[in-house]
């Protein structure tokens, strides 16, 4: 099933907004092409601190896989902590309902 063009554009725009927000909140930079370039992995980077993958969903749940988390770990530079940022949005208005961040337990225990 393909996503209609207008909805795909709307989704991309909303995803970019989520990436820009987490970058601004943490003092990082949003990567061009959402991390798809070989030399700019991840969606957002706070150099020397965090490598962030940002996701948003219109649904009531979001599934996290170990594969996704391991990929994020592998993309981290020296001293960087992987972070998965998930934003739930209202399906109709795309307004933010809730925002959560997932980090490794070792990082959480240190903070």
pLDDT tens-digit series, residues 31-56:
876 655 555 678 999 989 999 999 99
CATH number of 5-110: 3.40.1350
**Which stretch of DSSP H or E encloses residue 45?**
strand 44-46
Minimum mean pLDDT range among 4-8, 26-30, 72-76: 4-8
**What sign has the CA pseudo-torsion 21, 27, 31, 34?**
negative
Question: Is 54 within 8 Å of 44 (Cβ atoms)?
Answer: yes
Q: In the chain, where are the structural domains located?
A: 5-110
Q: What is the mean pLDDT of residues 19-33?
A: 89
Tokens 């940022």 label which residue? Answer: 85
Question: Is 110 within 8 Å of 79 (Cβ atoms)?
Answer: no
CB atoms within 10 A of CB 109: 7
The whole-number pLDDT of residue 77 equals 87
Question: Is 56 within 8 Å of 91 (Cβ atoms)?
Answer: no
Question: Is 57 within 8 Å of 94 (Cβ atoms)?
Answer: no
Q: Which residue intervals of the chain are DSSP H helices?
A: 5-26, 66-75, 105-110
The whole-number pLDDT of residue 12 equals 87
pLDDT tens-digit series, residues 63-95:
999 999 999 999 898 999 999 999 999 998 999
> Is the pLDDT score of 5 beyond 70?
no
């Amino acid at each position: 099933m393909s996503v209609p063009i207008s909805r795909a554009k709307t989704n991309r725009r909303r995803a970019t907004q989520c990436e820009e927000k987490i970058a601004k909140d943490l003092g990082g930079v949003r990567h061009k092409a959402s991390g798809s370039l070989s030399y700019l992995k991840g969606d957002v980077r706070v150099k020397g601190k965090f490598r962030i993958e940002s996701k948003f969903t219109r649904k009531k749940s979001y599934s996290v896989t170990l594969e996704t988390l391991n990929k994020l770990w592998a993309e981290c530079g020296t001293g960087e902590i992987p972070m998965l940022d998930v934003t739930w949005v209202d399906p109709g208005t795309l307004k933010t309902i809730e925002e959560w961040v997932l980090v490794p337990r070792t990082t959480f225990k240190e903070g």
